[in-house]
Amino acid sequence: MATEDLYIGNATKQVLNLSYRIAKTAPLWSQVIHPGMQVKIPRDLTSGEVDFVVRSLVKYGIVASDSIDQTKGFHGICYAIGKPITATRLILLMEKNHDDLLKRGRQIREQSAVAQSNMLDATLREQGRPERITQTELTIQQENH
C-alpha cells in the first residue's frame, strides 16, 4: 500500500500542540509545532488517513499551503502532502494572519468606542440630564511587538 508524507505548519506566534487521529477509532496522537515551523507527521499514512487527518482539522482553520494566496481571514495551521511547506508559503500565511489580527483588533476597538458612547448617552438620558453625546473621538496607538 502506498504511503504519503503529511506536513503540518504552524502559522501562529504560539506553540501549537496539534492533536489528531488517523482514523475515527484510532488513538489520539499529539505533535508540538513551534511558531513558524512545520513537522512531518511521523507515521506512514495512506491517502485515506491523510484525508481523514486534514478533514478533521478543517474546523480549526487548516488550509492547504498551495492555496494560501486565496484565503481570507485567520488560518493558524497549514498543510502540504508529499513535500514540505516552503518557508515562503509559511511566512506569507503568518504575515496574512498578522494583518488580519490587526484589522480585527481595530474593528473591535471601534465597536467598543461606539458601544461606550451609546451607553454614556443612555445613562445621561436615564438621569434626566440635558447633555447629549454628539461626537465620539477615538485615538488608537498601535504598538507592534
- Whether residue 10 contacts residue 79, with contact meaning beta carbons closer than 8 Å, is answered with no
Q: Is the pLDDT of residue 127 over 90?
A: no
Average model confidence (pLDDT) across the chain: 88
> What is the model's pTM?
0.77
Q: Which pLDDT tens digit goes with each residue over 64-95? A: 999 888 888 888 899 999 999 999 999 989 89
Give Cα 108 distance to the centre of its chain: 17
Give Cα 109 distance to the centre of its chain: 19
Q: Which pLDDT tens digit goes with each residue over 40-70? A: 998 889 999 999 999 999 999 899 999 888 8
Q: Which pLDDT tens digit goes with each residue over 117-126? A: 788 888 888 8
| Grid cell of 83 as nine digits | 513535500
- Whether residue 39 contacts residue 23, with contact meaning beta carbons closer than 8 Å, is answered with no
